[in-house]
Structure 1
């Protein structure tokens, strides 16, 4: 189970998404030159009176991490494992949509500028690693089918 390469890939996806919850995905710069970090856990702009948690982003990151952990244990059903990886990739694409909406709405309401951070790349890296996991699972499925044909 864990010795397969797709399990390592899925663990990497889980680690990236879990760490992305706590890392800033960017920061808002107000007209006074103050930087305010924007994380999926918390956004605070005291000058504009904003202090909230972007629940959509947080929920999608947690859901993506849980799905990738659960996918590891579906090693006996490779077709379902592939579907779960594709679903996880769609969830991460949805994360970027929710992020853009949240960032643009906050930016337009507060008259600030936005600076991107390295944490914003983690879901994209997780999507790429998810694709590598799908390829490895398909390779396993092809090996099993070839072994069944030989019997």
Structure 2
């Protein structure tokens, strides 16, 4: 049952976390150099793990409870990334003529939103299966 809506949400999360951070800048340093995910090893690894976890969760479609738990773990990972970015942005200097904070810092927020939508769809499927089992 890969054709479910949660599969589309998980593919979006995999693309957001696995591809996008390497093309949009996360922040700029004091010299004006743009920092991407591949410049920071920890950030790069966390984005790759988040994308891989989303792809792996797609193939757990027969085990909806495990899929739900894996999405929760992915949400925690993205919350950790978001916390790191908030900490990093608070340590960057304030707004000058050019903003030093990049658009890539919002990627974990969008990932968390799509993971929450995925968990809602998985819960809906689980409730539907339980209601069908009651009718038998």
State the TM bucket, normalised to the shorter chain: 0.7 to 0.9
SS in 1 for 2:67: helix
Q: How does 1:59-70 map to 2 (within 5 A)?
A: 59-70=45-56
Tell me the C-alpha RMSD between the 2 structures.
Answer: 2.0
SS in 1 for 2:33: strand
Matched, 1:136 2:133: no
Give the TM-score, by structure 2 length. 0.86
Mark the runs of 5 or more structure 1 residues left unpaired by the alignment: 43-53
CA shift, 1:2, in A, is 2.8
Equivalent position of 1:25 in the other structure? 26
Mapped to 2, the partners of 1:41 and 1:103 lie a distance apart of: 18
More helix, by proportion = 2
Does the 8 A contact of 2:17 with 2:47 survive in 1?
A: yes
Mapped to 2, the partners of 1:121 and 1:97 lie a distance apart of: 11
Q: How does 1:1-151 map to 2 (within 5 A)?
A: 1-22=1-22, 23-30=24-31, 35-42=32-39, 54-100=40-86, 115-151=100-136
